[in-house]
Amino acid sequence: MLLEAVYHRPQLNWCYAYDHETVHLRLRAKKNDLSEVYAFAGDKYAWDSTKELVPMTKFISDALFDYWTCEVKPPFRRLKYGFLLKSGEDQIWMTESEFTKERPVIPDRLFELPYINPGDVFTVPDWVKDAVFYQIFPERFANGDPSNDPEGVLPWGGKPERDNFFGGDLQGVIDHLDHLSELGITAIYFTPLFEATTNHKYDTADYMRIDPHFGDIETIKKLVKACHEKGIRVLFDAVFNHSGKTFAPFVDALEKGEQSRYKDWFHIREFPLEVKDGIPSYDTFGFEPLMPKLNTRNPEVKEYLIKVAEFWIKEVGIDGWRLDVANEVDHDFWRDFRKVVKNANPEAYILGEIWHESSPWLQGDKFDAVMNYPFTEAVLDFVVRGKLDALGFANAIGQQISRYPLQASEVAFNLLDSHDTPRLLTLCEGNKNKMKLAATFLFTYNGTPCIYYGDEVGLDGGPDPDCRKCMEWDPQKQDRDLFAFYQNLIAMRKELAPLRTGSIHFLLAEKNGSRLAYERRLDDERVLVLLNNYDAGQTLELTTDTPIWRDALSGKTREAVNGKLSVRLPAYGYAVLTEAK
């Protein structure tokens, strides 16, 4: 046993309360080093009568490590525990302070979870586990009310630029909700709706006012009501890291300088507020002068922004917030933000925009989830860029699963493209089969999947601003085959519970190859997913004790022969199989 590779901490994703009575324990070990692992657990005040050996299972692996897990239900919400590690005939005990050949006699030196305090349990909104999101960039989705068009609006469908407008608005969304319902969408994430000068609206001028080019508060109330009637939740985008240059407090600081009562609302290095050699004299998002960074440590700023978050939930009934540039805002702000938002709506979904490993924000005191760009990159590296073989992809996914508590993974916001990236069809160089293969993984993986508006009808586009094209509403120009594909994927995900909250186990992940198979399991229900990431047909063979499987997408049945299931997949093909009843 390579003990140097064995790792556990009594906190974070290694030891946590999954609910008010269940503790999840995890342990890391060198890949393929341990044959068995047990948790040795009990109550510290009743050790002799409660201690037990709990078998752990290898739930995922990455390139270097195996990750073992088990769940324990402490009878009195307290837990003392160590581990028994086995490799063939060898075994050793692990305590908080040492590895030892002898079983611990008393629990004093074991790891400890002192008490499952209900207030400390990381609770996420259950509805997100079943949701299918659709991201809308409002200025480019649909122009439903030409009377509120900005000056110089261009004809719908023109070439998107960083500073042009096409008149998309909230009424346009209302007019096309049936499109989303037909597709199967159950949640919308809107990029910012508040008053701003740009087409993307990430330079907020007034956090309490819907941009007049989109509509007004009555329009958004009408939209949210219409969405809820169709079973669609609504997520707003909050830009609390920075405001826009036309935000009234910043205008005041710009005009009055050191005499402004709002000067401490921002991070100002020197007066006057100006830009020298491309660097503003005040902190900004990047070095963008139009986006001054807000001082969220200032009590007035904090109170103002948190009241904004509370207002739109209470007044309009939105179902949560997506938080822009969330990792550049101080942690105390997000802790108070969560308390107020969850008090206003305990089922509100709090989603942070963070592009990297996000453990500090996913401990139950800040966000429910983050935009899962590491997932995005792993899928693209496998399917699109060819940087990962099937084994490397499985390892990348395993690493991600190991990083977070299960409840965070169950509501992770999984996406393949967005307003910040090239569109999926363009990344696939127009190859719809590759696009479908990537989407199949998206919809058969845990977390909530998100479709970027227009992907379902074949909208393409390179990097910003080209990825922000006008939605195509002419049925003759829509790819209806692609629409039907996404429609079927969504229906299948809704039908098969293991695809939403089941465990994942890789059955085949080919080294230096492109064949991938994994099982999603929930209780006694199993789903097999088979992928062929190759430009020619290939056969995947799996061992199974189930004689007949049904393809959830095509309806065809596949029969195992002598315990072997053999499935031929076409180039960039896929199959999602359920046990035939």
Q: Cα torsion at 139, 144, 147, 149 (round to 10°)? A: 10
In whole angstroms, give the CA distance from residue 421 to residue 519: 30
Q: 299-316 and 331-344 helices cross at what angle (nearest 10)?
A: 30
Q: Give me the amino acid identity at 466.
A: D
Nearest CA-CA partner of 13 in 408, 339, 471, 396: 408
Report the run of H or E that residue 48 belongs to, with start and end.
helix 47-50
Measured CA to CA, the distance from residue 110 to residue 72 in angstroms comes to: 16
Q: Tell me phi and psi for residue 347, to 5 degrees.
A: -95, 10
Phi, psi for 363 (deg, rounded to 5): -115, 10
- The amino acid occupying position 118 is P
Dist CA 140 CA 153 (whole Å): 12
CA distance 479 to 556: 25
Record the tokens describing residue 355, joined without a space: 């592009």
Residue 574 Cα distances to 436, 481, 546, 569, angstroms: 9, 16, 20, 6
Would you say 121 and 364 are in contact if contact means Cβ atoms under 8 Å apart?
yes
Q: Are 502 and 520 in contact (CB under 8 A)?
A: yes
Quick check: is 353 catalytic?
Answer: yes
Cβ density class 487-499: b for 16+ within 10 Å, e for less: eebbebbeebbbb
| Amino acid identity, position 459 | L
CA neighbor of 212 nearest in space, from 235, 194, 239:
194
Closest CA to 488 of 432, 450, 436, 448: 436
Q: How many CA atoms lie within 13 A of 488 on its CB side?
A: 15
Of the residues 145, 195, 203, 353, only one is catalytic, namely 353
Q: Which two tokens stand for residue 370?
A: 């983050």
- The active-site residue out of 195, 203, 211, 324 is 324
Question: Is 429 a catalytic site residue?
Answer: no
Residues labelled catalytic: 324, 353
